[in-house]
Amino acid sequence: MIIDLRSDTVTKPTKGMLDAMWNAEVGDDVFSEDPSINKLEAKAAEMFGMEAGIYCPSGTMTNQTAIKVLTQPQQEVICDVQAHIYKYEAGGMAFNSGVSPRLVNGDRGRMTPQDVIDNINPENTHFAPTSLVALENTSNRGGGSYYTMKEMAAIHQVVKDNCLKFHLDGARIFNALTETHDNPKDLGKLFDTISVCLSKGLGAPVGSVMLSSKENIHKAKRIRKVFGGGMRQAGFLAAAGIYALDNNIKRLKEDHQRAKIIETTLKNLTYIESIMPVDTNIIIFKLNNSMTHEDFLAKLAAKNIKAAATTKQTIRMVTHLDFNDDMLDVLVNTLKSI
């Protein structure tokens, strides 16, 4: 038994999901003729109160497509310094859209309305025109911290007052909604574009959807094409996404509960320096100088447990669909015995 906690992307399709994929009706999606993709796009759009959606191979592509739709070259994008769109998309916003990031030092990946106000450039030829604000919910590098609908609505007010655009990197939005109990439909009223990953906690092998107005999705289709993301009979993959939305949202709570148990375990261990608050399914902690992160990872590996070092002495674990209670027991006992 391998216990892989490096990310919630490591899940493999279950029997039920594979059956749904096997039975998928497909067609050529570049002609918009794949019934499964059309169904997934419409379903996701409807869930979030948006007009339309577009299916892409990755969350990087849905984010980058959204930024391209919402900006013009030379403009500036306000995001947190920890944001995936800045840190983990290979410089994509500069490369693809010719825009620069304006980085906010937020609280575990989250900005306040005042942070946004403070970072909007005044009208002056020296400055890049501020055009887009991008939030990440939950925040990956922020250790799974989340925004409530009320907090996002307050930022939306600033965005609206300043005639800016608003993007949500909702790679793990269902993890946030699991905790806040907010209605996903209300997100459609706040954001111009939303990106949702199906391949994280929801357990699909591939895919993300970008949601927006019909007009923006029409633009996004050409952008996806130039990014090389126009797929053909990808309905086999979309079927996994539909299955994930139907079956794997409710169970996210279990991932959060297991993450909490890991947090509690870590709190009592002598080799731990600090633990970020565990709000959803991500656990980030620092080792003190009694143990190097290489040593710690090797000790876990000896018990077939995989975790990730995000920086020197900092470890990340992410709970997911393929991490069950038996594995949790092994992990807890191993952590205590180290």
Site residues (vs ligand PLP, CB under 6 A)? 58-60, 63, 84, 136, 140, 169, 171, 197, 199-200, 208
E strands along 198-335, which residues? Answer: 208-212, 272-275, 282-287, 305-306, 308-311, 314-318
Tokens 């939303």: give the residue: 194
Quote the CA–CA distance of 60 and 44 in Å, as a whole number: 18
Name which of 68 and 200 has its Cβ closer to ligand PLP.
200
What minimum distance in Å lies between the beta carbon of 208 and ligand PLP?
6
Shorter beta-carbon distance to ligand PLP: residue 9 or 180: 9
Least distance between ligand PLP and beta carbon 271 (Å)? 27
Cβ proximity to ligand PLP: between 37 and 171 the closer is 171
Closer of 71 and 208 to ligand PLP (Cβ): 208
Which residues have a Cβ under 8 Å from the Cβ of 257 and sit 6 or more positions away? none
Q: Would you state the structure tokens that stand for residue 218, as one six-digit string?
A: 């029409």
- CB nearer to ligand PLP: give 117 or 226: 226
Nearest approach in angstroms of CB 182 to ligand PLP is 18
Structure-token pair, residue 166: 């608003």
Beta carbon of residue 86, minimum distance to ligand PLP (angstroms, whole number): 11
Cβ 197 to ligand PLP, closest distance in Å? 6
DSSP-derived secondary structure letter, 50: -
- Which is closer to ligand PLP, CB of 56 or CB of 272? 56
Distance CA 112, CA 104 (A): 10
Tell me the closest approach of the beta carbon of residue 33 to ligand PLP, in angstroms.
Answer: 25
5 close to 317: Cβ distance less than 8 angstroms = yes
Q: Among all residues, whose Cβ is closest to ligand PLP?
A: 59
Q: With respect to ligand PLP, which residue has the nearer C-beta, 21 or 135?
A: 135
* Cβ 89 to ligand PLP shortest distance, Å: 7
Q: Do the strands 130-136 and 165-170 form a parallel or antiparallel pair, or are they unpaired?
A: parallel
What angle in degrees, to the nearest 10, is found between the helix axes of 235-247 and 35-47? 30
- Quick one: 204 or 242, whose CB is closer to ligand PLP? 204
Give the residue among 64, 48, 40, 43 at the shortest CA–CA distance from 237: 40
Asked if 149 and 186 count as a contact pair (C-beta separation under 8 A), the reply is yes
How far apart are the two ends of the chain, measured CA to CA in Å? 19
CB 333 to ligand PLP: min, Å: 29
**Radius of gyration of the chain measured on its C-alpha atoms:** 20
**Cis, bond preceding 334 (omega within 30 deg of 0):** no
How many Cα atoms are found within 13 Å in the side-chain-facing hemisphere of 114?
A: 3
